[in-house]
Copies of this chain bind each other. A is one copy, B any other.
Amino acid sequence: MAVEWSGLSPALLIRLDRDSGQPLRAQLEDRLREAIRGGRLPGGERLPSSRELARELGVSRGLVQDCYHQLLAEGYLTSRTGSATRVARFAATRPPSAPAPQPPRPALIADFRAGVPDLASFPREDWVRAVRTACANVANADLDYGDPRGHEVLRRVLAGYLGRVRAAAAVPEQLIVSSGFAQGINLVLRALVEAGIRCAAFEDPGYGSVENSETLRAAAQLGLRVVHVPVDEHGIDVDALAAGGAQAVVVTPAHQSPTGVVLAARRRQALVDWAVREDAFVIEDDYDSEFRYDREPVGVLQGLAPSRVFTIGTVSKTLAPAVRLGWILAPPALAAAVAAHKQVGDRGSSTLDQLALAELLGSGRYDRHLRRMRSLYAVRRSGLVDAVAEHAPSVRLTGLAAGFHAVAHLPPHAREHEVVAAARERLVGLHAMGGYRAVDQDAPAQLVLGFGNVPERAIAPGIAAVADLLC
């Protein structure tokens, strides 16, 4: 044998004993049968090649091949020409862990779920190219644990981007890269609790209630008192906010989620004045800012009061939720606290993904993708407006200045959950405003109509199929 005897396979956690009296081949067969029968090697699991296993054990390749042939013959293993030897699917005696398959549900004609971008438009090629560039260029030292705030290259590129596109007062030192909005709000709330904040306000309608919202659950888990502040056609009611005693508020100024209202100029100023006056903090969820259809460019609130506003952004709506990258632009005095919580929580986001995003942003491909998506959503938005005008002309749509959802106002007698259930029977996914409300009493009947991930060709048929339910 050319290789040194070890008797140990790390790849299979199997050990052979040369002094046991039992031949090595018989030992190997026994160990493999035991592992397969006991479920430790489950059906479908790939085994090392005979060459690899022989080298690990320090035995001849022929011995391993003989053993594999024997177990193939016994039905423990399967093998196809040109691919790896695997454990046979029916070999394991352990009960299958997967639940019994559900009967397939018929596909929906259209699902007007909000908050989902067009998943088919995810720029797969651009992402792979960006990861390839990142992997080719990353320094070895940058493959270690890094700055918990994120890689300096991405923070520099992001600061430039947020200044250019959002009129943010952004420097790399105030940016913390996160894995999206959910982690961003967690980190910000932790830093605020540490800074003595005890009560946080949320828009209503907005995240809904603790029962259905991770954001509100995160606040509750941190021991924050949660108050809800109504939203009207100009955005959050700042007088009500001021009366509620909160020391921080989470808002969606660019396109209120879910009413679609854009925070009015006077309210923007009032909100910032409140924060400055009360030493309070505004947490700006810069939701849907990338997709505006009107002619009024509005920057982030953060630019008005960088020491009182956190701005949280994400690529979940611009690229896809599957990417899990976002950022927090924090007041200078609190950036270190946010970064410390990121460090304790997960020691930073994937450096390779961060460098890929920096590459997308720096190369202009991110802007190009946004332009493409703006056109695509504008077409779907028109399609929705036209379909409602044609099939359900009495239904008013609001909230269409940005993003990819609208609010449909149902007649006074309608009940949201009945409309949703009846639409479901007709294979159309509709979604009630009720799920976004904290206080639901006497609220007008409304639906939140997302069109981001509804193909253009499905919009009119989807609306037509449920038109009578909406009127």
What is A's interface to B at a CB cutoff of 8 Å?
6-15, 35, 39-42, 44-46, 48-49, 52, 55-56, 84, 97-98, 116, 119-120, 122, 124, 127-128, 131-132, 135-136, 138, 140-146, 156, 159-161, 163-169, 171-173, 178-180, 182-183, 186, 214, 217-218, 221, 290, 292, 295-297, 299, 316, 320-325, 343-353, 362, 364, 367-368, 370-371, 374, 453
Cβ distance A388 to chain B, nearest Cβ, rounded Å: 24
Q: Residue among A44, A48, A352 with the most chain B CB within 10 A? A: A352
Contact in complex: B144, A346 (CB < 8 Å) = no
Residues of B within 8 A of A41 (CB): 160, 163-164
Cβ distance A343 to chain B, nearest Cβ, rounded Å: 6
Per the bound structure, the CA–CA distance linking A322 and B352 in Å amounts to: 6
Residues of B within 8 A of A374 (CB): 10
- Given A119-B143, A295-B6, residue A45 in contact with residue B163 (CB < 8 A): yes
Contact in complex: B218, A45 (CB < 8 Å) = no
Contact in complex: B350, A12 (CB < 8 Å) = no
Per the bound structure, the CA–CA distance linking A295 and B13 in Å amounts to: 11
Q: Residue among A119, A135, A159, A171 with the most chain B CB within 10 A? A: A135
Other than the given A42-B160, A186-B346, 14 more pairs (CB < 8 A) read A8-B297, A10-B292, A11-B367, A13-B167, A35-B164, A44-B156, A46-B364, A97-B159, A124-B136, A127-B135, A128-B132, A128-B135, A142-B322, A324-B350
Q: Which chain B residue shows the least CB distance to A11?
A: B367
Residues of B within 8 A of A218 (CB): 344-345
Residues of B within 8 A of A297 (CB): 8-10, 13-15
A-B interface, 8 closest residue pairs, ranked by CB to CB distance from nearest:
A322-B351, A97-B171, A143-B320, A45-B160, A183-B346, A324-B350, A119-B140, A40-B163
Contact in complex: A324, B344 (CB < 8 Å) = no
Q: Which chain B residue shows the least CB distance to A137?
A: B124
Contact in complex: A165, B10 (CB < 8 Å) = yes
- Given A171-B97, A323-B352, residue A295 in contact with residue B15 (CB < 8 A): yes
Contact in complex: A371, B44 (CB < 8 Å) = no
Residues of B within 8 A of A323 (CB): 350, 352
Contact in complex: B345, A183 (CB < 8 Å) = yes
Cβ distance A95 to chain B, nearest Cβ, rounded Å: 10
Residues of B within 8 A of A120 (CB): 140
Residues of B within 8 A of A316 (CB): 145
